[in-house]
Chains A and B, each alone.
Chain A
């Protein structure tokens, strides 16, 4: 704790990034627009595909956001993780469909890979290349030793699952097993031998796919001896950025539901007058605040390379995941009948929260690992 600055490293420049992100998303992605973009079909019949605004992503690239946490020596902006967290929080508040979050996560993995190939990939991110991660197997495990992709003669075989925003990404970082361990490899989504099969998912604000490889050409980012270590070193930042997205979405759900509770009248009072509504909304606020503080603490401890970074990031993800479910459920419930409909905006955020809370491990997964780290192994 002593090494960390009291302000989480969140100085003037970081505050400027945050306020410009808030303004950018509120100018460009009002919820009415997002709703018509992602929920214009009568029912959720087709997997997410073209339901995003590529020009918006290009503007984010112009502002340097995807490479915010990439070193200046690699062509990035070189800002601390807390600045990226601030943007992810605002992106979550707007429920914006974009490859921003997976590209952030990919940049964290690339930051852990020494060598020219990773350097070039980071440079491509600064130019606007969207990247995602293929590190999860068909059973939902992101344990590098459990990957279902194989590397043979510089080509990839097998499959990877739960790839976020796969149809928006131009490159994928894949964990693949060889004779001496699990390495990391970069490939083009357009390459021969790469088949992207979109999943039909609940969340309307992103797409997801599993990818089948049949001799796909790739570039090595981390050797088979180093891939697992690179992934586990990148994990705390990935958990932190997803937590930030949930914090932002939670805040939208809270404020929108509070507004509704001020205007919807039943029994001669706005429903927010009744403590059956008021008190649980305060509880939602309390959970959001803890999640937010834990998230900024995690980012700061990662920036300052503290030993506590992993514990802090897992705490943030566990708390943010619980909060995500809670904020989403209370928002639907307190909107009453209208909250249950497709036309209401609440389900957009409900679905994003329910998606994020399981991404890279849900609350129970992280608490189980935390119990080993903080209490000790079970005897």
Chain B
């Protein structure tokens, strides 16, 4: 902690003191409603509105969007967002609801949008008043993202959009969508264009949002169908045909490797029945100490103990990797560890949650809502949900391709 502060510039140091002072007085306290583990799981409007109020107050205080220019609603500071993020984390604040907006749409608009679009959209995006979603994936365009079939056809000042987007988190709350679609069928990569689309006002008028039910039985994401939706040309980002290049700006920020630091709060301890106890090795050891097995506990079973310790070593290795990735002399390739983070982190969590089945034994059959379920059924729920993240944001198979090609220099797989 003190290491961070020592490296602060004068501006950062002043700003950090300001953040601490503000958070001391303005922490929103305990939420009045149950929050899901992350913003992408939001399904309850009361939870959303409480989080939006938190985002707005942090925005108005200057903790969110502080590195963005003044004219776009930002704080015009120099490299201060990570300071605010660190302090919000330290004060254990709730997470921000508009994460697709801030993490993906905002930097893309900043780098590729027209001046008046930036002025129109960025302030309410950063304040969280307008929620954003992402229209990239399609039934036929998952790992092969450039295989976009949703079309935009020019019609005077407008574009006519037709197609089918899928896995669209937050679309049921979103006012805006970042949309990748095809403007030229003859050219896979140069035939794509990128739009920002006001979807909420068009629901029933060219836009249909249908919830998808996850394998867990929970809602969370959606399908979005476009049927002759008219979108004004002013909402196009960058040139016609430049969509793939624009999408790369989005994806590089999604993976946390972009030029703009995404505003992020968090750190608030989730309530006991919200799945918090499914995210750490310590929680799994506690579970093992409670679950009976052969007259003792699962924590006394040598085979289970070995699984637990293997997991502990993986977690510690992951943490120490993050530490080492910042030391140039101890990393052979600058992207070698950063590009592993999503892959290694999500598989580790998935395997952690899988071990709960060995520990719970027959009781792992009991699901959320069953009064006899260990840990209120959160472990099997977490295990199933873990596949969301090993698949999303580029499946882990695609991540292995990227690592093999960019870091090991292996020939590109098709």
A367 touches B309 (CB 8 A): yes
Segment of A61-69, A220-228, A276-284 in the binding face: A276-284
A-B contact count (CB 8 A): 143
Residue of B nearest to A18 (CB): B329
B286 to chain A, nearest CB (A): 10
**Cβ of B24 under 8 Å from chain A:** no
Contact of B299 among A8, A269, A291, A376 (CB under 8 A): A376
0/1 string, B329-342, CB within 8 A of A gives 1: 11010001100100
Also in contact, A364 and B403, with CB within 8 A (given A278-B413, A297-B316)? no
A315 and B316 form a contact (CB under 8 A): yes
Chain B residues positioned under 8 Å from A292 (CB to CB)? 324, 330
Q: Are B340 and A286 in contact (CB under 8 A)?
A: yes
> How many Å from the CB of B295 to the closest CB on chain A?
10
From residue A296, how far is it (CB to closest CB) to chain B in Å? 6
The answer, among A282, A297, A378, for a CB contact under 8 Å with B400, is A282
Q: Is the CB of B299 within 8 A of A315?
A: no
Which residues of B lie under 8 Å from residue A364 when comparing CB positions?
306
Q: Are A379 and B300 in contact (CB under 8 A)?
A: yes
Q: Which residue in chain B gives the minimum CB-CB distance to A269?
A: B411
Q: How far is the CA of A283 from the CA of B400 in the complex (A)?
A: 8
Q: Are A370 and B312 closer than 8 Å at their CB atoms?
A: yes
B314 CB within 8 Å of chain A:
yes
Which one of A14, A275, A289, A376 has the greatest number of beta carbons of chain B within 10 Å?
A289
Are B324 and A379 neighbours in the complex by a CB distance under 8 Å?
no
**In the bound complex, CA of A272 to CA of B326 (Å):** 29
Asked if A270 is at the interface (CB within 8 A of a chain B CB), the reply is yes
Bound-complex Cα distance A5 to B3 (A): 8
Give complex CA distance A8, B288 in Å.
33
Is the interface on chain A under 10, 10 to 19, 20 to 34, or 35 or more residues? 35 or more
Chain B 310-331: CB-based contact to A (< 8 A → 1; otherwise 0): 1011101110110110110110
- A297-B323, A375-B308 in contact; A278/B400 too (CB < 8 A)? yes
Minimum distance in angstroms from B327 CB to a CB of chain A = 5
Contact (Cβ within 8 A) A374 B403: no
Q: For residue A342, which residues in chain B have a CB less than 8 angstroms away from its CB?
A: none
Q: Residues of A contacting B397 with CB < 8 Å?
A: 275, 279
Contacting B408 at CB < 8 Å: which of A6, A275, A282?
A282
Cβ contact within 8 Å between A274 and B413: yes
Q: Cα distance A319–B312 when bound, in Å?
A: 11
Q: Render A237-253 as a binary contact track against B, CB cut-off 8 A, 1 for contact.
A: 00000000000000100
Q: Which residue of A lies closest to B296 (CB)?
A: A379
Tell yes or no: A197 within 8 A of B by CB.
Answer: no
Chain A window 260-271, contacts with chain B (Cβ cutoff 8 Å), 1 for yes, 0 for no: 011000000110
Chain A residues within 8 Å of B324, by CB: 8, 289, 292-293, 296
- What are the interface flags for A363-379 relative to B under an 8 Å C-beta threshold, 1 for contact and 0 otherwise? 01001101100111011
Q: How far is the CA of A376 from the CA of B282 in the complex (A)?
A: 13
Residues of B within 8 A of A312 (CB): 316
* B305 and A375 within 8 A (CB): yes
Q: At the interface, yes or no: B258 with Cβ under 8 Å from chain A?
A: no
Which A residues lie at the B interface, using CB under 8 A? 5-8, 10, 14-15, 18-19, 251, 254, 258, 261-262, 269-270, 272-275, 277-279, 281-283, 285-286, 289-294, 296-297, 312, 315, 318-319, 364, 367-368, 370-371, 374-376, 378-379
Can you list 6 A-B contacts (CB < 8 A)? A254-B408, A261-B410, A290-B320, A294-B317, A318-B313, A379-B296
